Amino acid sequence: MPAAFSLRLRKTDGRALTLYARAPFEAPATPAPSPSSEVIDANPHLRWHPLRGEWVTYAAYRQHRTFLPPPEWNPLAPTRDPARPTELPAGDWEVAVFDNRYPSLAAGAHDAPVSIVPTAPATGACEVVVFGQDPLEALGAMPLARIGLVLQVLGERCRELAARPGIAWVLPFENRGAEVGVTLHHPHGQIYAYPVVPPVAARMAAVAREHALRHGRGPLTDLIGRELADGARLLYRGPHALAFVPACARYPYEIWVAPIEPVASLESLDDAQREDLARALKTALRKLDRLWDRPSPYLMAWYAAPSGGSPGWHLHAQIWPPHRSRDRLKYLAGTELAAGLFAMDALPEDSARALQAVDVSAELA
C-alpha cells in the first residue's frame, strides 16, 4: 500500500481541512470552502455527573446555528458551484478530514461556566472524515485500496490528535443510516479526541491491564486465539486479520474486525496488516449489506489504546448493526441503558451462520 499524499488547508472560518490521495494531486484553485464564513466560538464545556462518576459534554451553541442548509443539499460533496460552497473543494483528492463546525469538544474551549457540579472546558477535537467524493459509494463498497487509505488516514489523524497536549483518548467511528440518527448520508466517519479517557475505554483499559498481568497477553488476543481455534463464528480469516461474530456479542449481528497479532493503534499497523484488515473490514460490511440486500445501518467504533499505551490492549473495530431481523430493530431500553446489562434474543452462533452463508468473495477481488 503506497504512502498517502496529503495537503493541509485552512478554511476562511479558521477550521482545518486536510485532503488525502494515493497519488499526487494538485492544490485546489480556490480557497478551502465553508458553507458559512461566520467564525464559530466553539466553546463546549464538561460537567461532572456525580452519581455515575463521569463527564458529560455540553455545546449549547449548537442550538443557535445561523446556517440552516436546505434538506437536499449535501455539504460533504465537493463544491460544484462557488456560490453554494460545501465543506470540500473539487479536485482529485480521495479522502478528506475537516474540523466539525459545531464540535462538542474543541481545542479552543475556555472558561467553563460555574455550576453546582464541577465543570471544565471540553478541550479536544471533533473531526469529520469524508470517505470519498461519491455520495452513493459506501465504505464497504469501495475498492480494497481505498478502504486501506481510509484506515491509513484514520491512523494518521489518531497519531496527530493523540500527540496534542491534554488528549487522553481518540475514537474514530462511523454512524451509518437513518436508524442510528444519521442525517447526512454521504459516506463519512468522525473522530473524537477526548481530554479524559471516557468510561467505556477506561473500563476496557482496566480489564485489559488486569488480564495482561495475569496471563501475559490481553483479553482480545486470547479471545482471537479461541475464535480462530473454534471457527464457529469466523467470517474472514486472512494472513494478518480476521472478522468474526464474537461469542459475547451484545447486538444480534455484531461483528469485530481486528489484526490477529496485538497492535495498539491504527497508526502502528504495517502495510501488510492494514491491507488484510481492509479485506476483513470489507468482508464484514459487504456481508451486512448482502444479508438482506439493502444498506445495513451500523455503528462502527475503532478501539485503539489510550494515549501513552495500555498493557494488553489489542486494536479492533466493533460493528453494531441495530437490526435484530430484517424488519425489526433492537432498541436499547431498560436493562441495556439503565443497568448496562445487555439482553440478547439471538445467539451469536446463529447470526454467524447466517452471515457465513452470505458469499461476498466475488466483491473482494
Please identify which residue in 31, 143, 239, 334 interacts with a copy of itself, judged by CB under 8 A: 334
Range 76-105, binding a copy of itself (CB under 8 A): 104
> Which stretch, 140-148, 207-215, 286-294, 354-362, contacts a copy of itself (CB under 8 A)?
207-215
Site for a copy of itself in 127-166 (CB under 8 A): none
Contacts of 1 (CB under 8 A, 6+ apart): 145, 148, 149, 152, 271, 274, 275
Per the CB < 8 A criterion, the answer to whether 298 and 318 are in contact is no
Maximum CA extent, the chain: 62
Beta carbon nearer to a copy of itself, 54 or 363? 54
Taking CB under 8 A as the binding criterion, the range among 28-36, 149-157, 259-267, 338-346 that sits at the site for a copy of itself is 338-346
Query: Per rule CB under 8 A, is residue 213 in the interface with a copy of itself?
Result: no
Closest CA relative to residue 242, chosen from 226, 256, 221: 256
Asked if 190 and 300 touch (Cβ cutoff 8 Å), the reply is no
Give the footprint of a copy of itself on residues 232-291 (CB under 8 A): 247-250
User: To which residue does cell 465543506 refer?
Assistant: 87
- Compute the chain's Rg from CA coordinates: 21
**How is residue 250 written as a grid cell?**
451484545
Which of 100, 289, 320, 323 is close enough to bind a copy of itself by CB under 8 A? 320
* Ranges within 41-80 binding a copy of itself (CB under 8 A): 47-60, 62-63
Q: How many whole angstroms from its chain centre is CA 37?
A: 28
Dihedral angle of Cα 133, 137, 143, 147, to the nearest 10 degrees: 70
The correct pick among 133, 175, 273, 307 for binding a copy of itself (CB under 8 A) is 175
Interaction residues for a copy of itself, span 292-311 (CB under 8 A):
299, 301, 303
Question: Minimum Å distance from CB 201 to a copy of itself?
Answer: 6
| 214 in contact with a copy of itself (CB under 8 A) | no
Based on CB atoms, which residue is closest to a copy of itself, 79 or 265? 265
Complete DSSP assignment for 10-37: E-TTS-EEEEEESS--PPPSSPPP-S--
